[in-house]
């Protein structure tokens, strides 16, 4: 019995020792100074916002983007023309990023695409295309960058951009939603496999976010309707996604891994509840 108590005391003392050696939490914990970050699809929208946010907190940022013009316009560090669905292009971009900026310790898998895919009309080619652009590259980029993190022994943070559509039905967009659900599941497994190497893997799930693309296709008055759909009463801003990405990339989240954070103003929690257009009270379903 006494030996058991001694073991418990030893474990407690060891834990206290580890806590004493831990860095003290403070404003510097959010800084990314000297770290190298890769943001895929960072030439516009949420990706561009995240790239600017990481740079604002001190990271050296490489943007991997298919559109050469957009990557050059956003990148304060390094803009590379890369199709992240292609392994040889990813390998080349990673090699150049390390050569010009240094070892990568932050990866944001943001690239993706969407088009309508009703189940009765979806072709095998369309299904495969949506999965390659929304899920396949997440494995590819994670694997390649994580290998360099393991080899360097430095650990790191990987942030996967999924969507609210990964956790709810999306009529007309079955393939896209399935791919985004795959990103969430992949994030959990990658977090477990890479934890022993000091690599954290998390995901961010946006919903209605004011990007250039959304503004271009939204009909007049759409922003007011967004306010009815979102519990917080408005659409999100790319800087709010960037804030969450900075948190996950920084030491503030040093014990967070395998999680999906919904940066959506409460829409995932609402599960169909929305603001009545007349009096603003919550209603469920048609009014």
User: Which CATH number belongs to the domain containing residue 152 in this structure?
Assistant: 3.40.50.720
Tens digits of per-residue pLDDT, 243-272? 999 999 999 999 999 999 999 999 999 988
DSSP string, 99-143: HHH-SEEEEEE-------B-TTT--HHHHHHHHIIIIIHHHHHHH
Report the 10 Å Cβ neighbour count for 197: 17
Please determine, for residue 218, whether its predicted confidence score (pLDDT) is greater than 60: yes
Domain, as residue range, for 157: 29-260
Both tokens of 61, joined, read: 């940022």
Residue 134, in any domain of the structure: yes
Question: How confident is the model at residue 12, as a pLDDT?
Answer: 56
Where in the chain does DSSP place strands (E)?
Answer: 36-40, 60-65, 78-81, 104-109, 156-161, 199-206, 209-210, 236-237, 260-263, 273-275, 282-284
Q: Is residue 153 part of a domain?
A: yes
Catalytic residues: 176
Least confident of 44-58, 59-73, 75-89, 159-173: 59-73
What is the gyration radius of the CA atoms in the chain, in angstroms? 21
Give residue-wise pLDDT tens across range 36-51.
Answer: 999 999 999 999 999 9
Question: What count of residues does the chain have?
Answer: 287
Q: Is residue 242 part of a domain?
A: yes
Residue 12 lies in a domain: no
Using 50, 70 and 90 to split pLDDT, how confident is the model at 273? confident
Mean local confidence (pLDDT), 85-102: 97
Residue 57 domain flag:
yes
Please count the structural domains in the chain: 1
The separation between CA 14 and the C-alpha centre of its own chain, rounded to angstroms, equals 35
Integer Cα distance of 287 and 271 in angstroms: 16
Q: How far apart (Å, rounded) are the C-alpha atoms in residues 277 and 287? A: 9
In a domain, 273, yes or no: no
Give CA–CA dist 114/164, Å, rounded. Answer: 14
């Amino acid at each position: 019995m006494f030996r058991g108590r001694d073991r418990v005391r030893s474990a407690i003392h060891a834990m206290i020792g580890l806590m004493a050696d831990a860095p003290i939490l403070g404003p510097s914990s959010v800084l990314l100074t000297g770290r190298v970050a890769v943001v895929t699809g960072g030439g516009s929208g949420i990706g561009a916002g995240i790239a600017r946010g990481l740079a604002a907190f001190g990271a050296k940022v490489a943007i991997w983007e298919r559109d050469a013009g957009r990557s050059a316009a956003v990148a304060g560090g390094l803009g590379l023309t890369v199709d992240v669905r292609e392994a040889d292009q990813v390998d080349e971009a990673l090699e150049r990023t390390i050569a010009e900026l240094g070892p990568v310790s932050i990866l944001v898998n943001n690239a993706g695409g969407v088009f309508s895919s009703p189940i009765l009309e979806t072709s095998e080619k369309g299904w495969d295309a949506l999965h390659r652009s929304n899920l396949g590259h997440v494995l590819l980029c994670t694997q390649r960058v994580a290998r360099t993190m393991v080899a360097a022994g430095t650990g790191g943070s990987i942030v996967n951009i999924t969507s609210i559509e990964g956790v709810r039905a999306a009529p007309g967009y079955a393939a896209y939603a399935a791919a985004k659900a795959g990103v969430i599941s992949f994030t959990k497994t990658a977090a477990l496999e890479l934890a022993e190497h000091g690599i954290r893997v998390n995901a961010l799930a946006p919903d209605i976010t004011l990007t250039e693309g959304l503004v271009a296709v939204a009909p007049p008055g759409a922003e007011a309707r967004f306010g009815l759909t979102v519990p917080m009463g408005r659409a999100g801003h790319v800087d709010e996604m960037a804030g969450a990405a900075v948190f996950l990339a920084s030491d503030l989240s040093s014990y967070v891994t395998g999680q999906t954070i919904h940066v959506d103003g409460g829409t995932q929690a609402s599960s169909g509840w929305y603001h009545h257009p007349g009096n603003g009270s919550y209603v469920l379903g048609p009014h």
